[in-house]
Amino acid sequence: GVCSLNWNTVGMTVAGSSAGTAADAAGALTAAAPQLGLLKNPRDLALDSSGNIYIADTSDNRVVKWASGATTGTLVTGNADGTNGALAPALDTPSGVLVDANGNVYVTDTKNNRVRVIPAQGVANDITLAGAQPWGITRDSSTNTLYVTGSGNNNLYQITQNGVLTNVGLNPLTNPNGVALDSTKNRLVIANQGAGNLISWTIGAAVGTAAPITGLNPAPGASSGVTFDSSGNMYVADTINNRILFFPAGQTTGRIIAGGVNPVAPATASTLNGPFSVKLDSQGNLYVADTGANRIQKFSCILA
């Protein structure tokens, strides 16, 4: 069957604690006991073609990889003991993670003002984005171009496959968080968290043409995450309202597809607590960074 664009509203925890237990709840992490089975305030996740989940384990200052069905993660980058730092491989508050079709991993190392590139083979390197506090990251596979939001300086950056860095300088951005490519319209949509809206920009268009998406119902509040499927349907991590919204391609009327259940604590299989990111696998299942509940939740698509 194929995904019916309806989802089970009862989620399954695929990384972290289903009860919402934070990694350091029982004591500080150490190199000897890094507590890789737990997360703390994860802001983003990425999926590869094998079903591995890469997680920006933000408050643990590390990126971890959970194999499909695993009960614990493995360290990808950052310090195992959760300490932050500026000297690689340390991270400081990683907010975004991306994996491409070749297995290369990209991390926005937010408070270190850099993007870490971890090739599938070879040595990791860091790209400096001075003052940017980079957060969201997406990739246009048709041009091998990365796009990164600068939450600290309200910018959008473009990084070509040759490493050429351009500050796109979009207005109006206010603490932009997640960014996603809508390949059906050759556009980027940015979760413009500080203004509580979504900004759409056609790639390559004049920078002044970026504009909020208006008239959305239900209206997203301050949102940190957005993604698209290959048909151009839009999924929004409506962070402040503890829910995931779905908008069919080209339509402003959508619906709640996960979360939106109160109270948000204690965490249950139906709740979301300040979700920062939503992603999809190739079958249309939803994966949500349930940031405030220290876990990754999967909401399975109902097959047609």
> Is 168 a member of any domain?
yes
Nearest partner of 198 among 234, 167, 145, judged by Cα:
234
Residue 78 lies in a domain: yes
Give a yes or no: residue 132 inside a domain.
yes
* Residue 28 included in any domain: no
Evaluate whether 106 touches 98 at the Cβ level (below 8 Å): yes
The answer to whether residue 200 sits within a structural domain is yes
The yes-or-no verdict on residue 164 having pLDDT over 90 is yes
Confidence of residue 1 (pLDDT cuts 50, 70, 90): confident
Cα–Cα distance between 221 and 198 in angstroms, integer?
10
pLDDT at 254: 98
The verdict on residue 152 lying in a domain is yes
Residue 169 has pLDDT above 90, yes or no: no
Counting the structural domains of the chain, the total is 1
Residue 30 — very low, low, confident or very high, per pLDDT cuts 50/70/90? very high
Over the stretch 43-85, which tens digit does the pLDDT of each residue have? 999 999 999 999 999 999 999 999 999 999 999 999 999 999 9
| CATH assignment of the domain containing 163 | 2.120.10.30
Domain span at residue 86 reads 3-23+33-303
Does 149 fall in a domain?
A: yes
Largest CA distance in the chain: 52
- What residues form DSSP beta bridges with 176? 192
Per-residue model confidence (pLDDT) at position 168 = 93
Average pLDDT over residues 191-210: 95
Q: In what order do the strands lie in the sheet with 134-140?
A: 134-140, 145-150, 155-159, 165-167
Does residue 80 fall inside a structural domain?
A: yes
Of the pLDDT bands very low, low, confident and very high (cuts 50, 70, 90), residue 220 is very high
**Which H or E run contains 117?**
strand 114-118
Question: Is 90 exceeded by the pLDDT of residue 32?
Answer: yes
